A and B are shown apart, each in its own frame.
Chain A
């Protein structure tokens, strides 16, 4: 198995409070990593460290390294804009940009300089199909993305990430506000997409991790407690905290 991300003794401080504590592990390429843990355990902060979205906040500091394909993404000369093109992100709240469905999807490719109308049209159809949204919106691509339902908006957000043809996709509780049918559609999309992408899925729903993730990591209070294949974590966890969380004794 090829390694996509290497996290080496990574710590994250926000206003001098240590939010992530000396995280060490590797993320395999072309697989789905589920990250579970109670609220405030640092899951989202960790996810946002992988494409340096935390840069948008002020008052943070890091220690250690995160390597993407062997290259340190926190070294000073690293191009953050290029990083975010390679590592796409879907947020907890689906927020389409204030423009049409079509424009939302081609936003990323346009930024990368794709101008050809035919190529953009292809990308739109391909990305929306991969996000299981094409059939529902193909007749109204030029209406506002804000008019879609919550579940459709979230799939649109996934589609616009896919249109950039990234290498990895980060999902931050992508189905926290969605109905079961939309959730199922997103999960179906993810299991297909992992063939071509590395997917990291933060979720508050342990069952979701059990359903779609190949490997699962359990975070607690900013520490990585346990990492293993999903079946191992859910059937025979080594650490008692993991067992307690999965069986619902806290969290």
Chain B
């Protein structure tokens, strides 16, 4: 009886573990199955590098969306990465531990705010400020970059702090004992030793930024065009799928799945880079 119980538990756990895995596989296969034939039929070059997105005329060039996604993500990095990394350094090296232990979970709460709330604040507060001060429609590449930059902060800060705190205290002591100041110790020893973890945090933030949809739809303006300035309205890959899926049929529908394929590939590459960076850190220890 006991043995039977043990076996049953093992089975049940195995089924649950595989259901998560098969969910991923099914989604990936479904998207590839729907999207890949279209890409080959339409032509990879035409699909990726043409600027003509006129679904009703049978033209499906997603180049403007690719460019917009890259710019929005880069913008989010410019806003979020320095804020996040320097914030993490301040919290881990310059803040007393008890204070840091309160602030860190508070920052992590940022990740719990639904993206629609970020988008709403972007529309109601940020866009009008941009419109009034810099001109343009307000709903723009700049607005999307700022909102996304804030949204990736918890990811960047939390993982950076973890990797900075993982640096053995004896490294810092060795440096201080040689007459180094806190900043010298931080940038010559601590950051050096935790570099791969910090890079991983930025890459994971990048993955989050490129995949974010709701907040971006709300603040980016969504016109299909290659932006000339940060104040232009743009449409990202994710926004493109979300905006048109409700009425897309036939070729148009397949083109949206193909957009999903492109996103999937980009995100797989980013996550692999991050896990390579994290693993490198483990090996070094």
**Residue A192 at the B interface, CB < 8 A?**
no
| Chain A residue nearest in CB terms to B193 | A98
Measured CB to CB, the residues of B under 8 A from A are 96-97, 168, 170-181, 184, 188-189, 192-193
8 closest residue pairs by CB, A with B: A85-B179, A89-B177, A108-B178, A95-B170, A84-B179, A98-B193, A95-B174, A111-B180
Whole-angstrom distance between the alpha carbons of A103 and B173 in the complex?
17
Quick check: A91 and B173 within 8 Å, CB to CB? yes
**Residue A242 at the B interface, CB < 8 A?**
no
Among A156-164, A210-218, A233-241, the stretch that binds chain B is A156-164
Residue count of chain A within 8 Å CB distance of chain B: 25
**Residue A88 at the B interface, CB < 8 A?**
yes
Q: How far is the CB of A15 from chain B (nearest CB, A)?
A: 14
The B-contacting residues of A in range 58-98, CB under 8 angstroms, are 58, 81-82, 84-85, 88-89, 91, 93, 95-98
Quick check: B174 and A157 within 8 Å, CB to CB? yes
Whole-angstrom distance between the alpha carbons of A93 and B188 in the complex?
21
- In the assembled complex, 9 residue pairs joining A and B whose CB atoms fall closer than 8 Å, in A order, are A51-B177, A53-B177, A56-B176, A91-B177, A97-B174, A97-B189, A98-B171, A107-B175, A161-B177
**Residue A176 at the B interface, CB < 8 A?**
no
Whole-angstrom distance between the alpha carbons of A112 and B180 in the complex?
9
| Chain B residue nearest in CB terms to A93 | B170
A51, A58, A111 pick with most chain B CB within 10 angstroms: A111
| Chain A residue nearest in CB terms to B178 | A108
Q: Which residues of B contact A53 (CB under 8 A)?
A: 173, 176-177
B179, B180, B189 pick with most chain A CB within 10 angstroms: B179
Quick check: B189 and A98 within 8 Å, CB to CB? yes
| Chain A residue nearest in CB terms to B189 | A97
Whole-angstrom distance between the alpha carbons of A160 and B174 in the complex?
10
Quick check: A81 and B173 within 8 Å, CB to CB? no
Whole-angstrom distance between the alpha carbons of A81 and B171 in the complex?
17
Whole-angstrom distance between the alpha carbons of A161 and B97 in the complex?
29
Contact with B along A95-125 (1 / 0, CB 8 A): 1111100000001100110000000000000
Q: Which residues of A contact B189 (CB under 8 A)?
A: 97-98
Q: How far is the CB of B176 from chain A (nearest CB, A)?
A: 6
Cross-chain contact of A111 among B97, B171, B179 (Cβ < 8 A): B179
Q: Which residues of A contact B184 (CB under 8 A)?
A: 111
Quick check: A107 and B173 within 8 Å, CB to CB? no
Cross-chain contact of B96 among A51, A58, A157 (Cβ < 8 A): A58
Extra pairs beyond A81-B180, A85-B179, A95-B174 (4, CB < 8 Å): A58-B97, A85-B178, A98-B189, A157-B174
Cross-chain contact of A84 among B97, B170, B177, B193 (Cβ < 8 A): B177
Quick check: A164 and B171 within 8 Å, CB to CB? no
Quick check: B170 and A81 within 8 Å, CB to CB? no
Whole-angstrom distance between the alpha carbons of A81 and B96 in the complex?
20
Q: Which residues of B contact A85 (CB under 8 A)?
A: 178-179
| Chain B residue nearest in CB terms to A170 | B177
Whole-angstrom distance between the alpha carbons of A160 and B178 in the complex?
8
Q: How far is the CB of B284 from chain A (nearest CB, A)?
A: 8
Whole-angstrom distance between the alpha carbons of A108 and B175 in the complex?
8
Quick check: A107 and B188 within 8 Å, CB to CB? yes
Cross-chain contact of B181 among A81, A91, A96, A160 (Cβ < 8 A): A81
Quick check: B168 and A84 within 8 Å, CB to CB? no
| Chain A residue nearest in CB terms to B174 | A95
Whole-angstrom distance between the alpha carbons of A51 and B179 in the complex?
10
Cross-chain contact of B168 among A51, A89, A95, A111 (Cβ < 8 A): A95
Q: Which residues of B contact A108 (CB under 8 A)?
A: 178-179
Q: Which residues of B contact A89 (CB under 8 A)?
A: 177
Q: Which residues of A contact B188 (CB under 8 A)?
A: 107
Q: Which residues of B contact A88 (CB under 8 A)?
A: 177-178
Q: How far is the CB of A220 from chain B (nearest CB, A)?
A: 26
Quick check: B170 and A164 within 8 Å, CB to CB? no
Whole-angstrom distance between the alpha carbons of A160 and B193 in the complex?
19
Quick check: A99 and B192 within 8 Å, CB to CB? yes
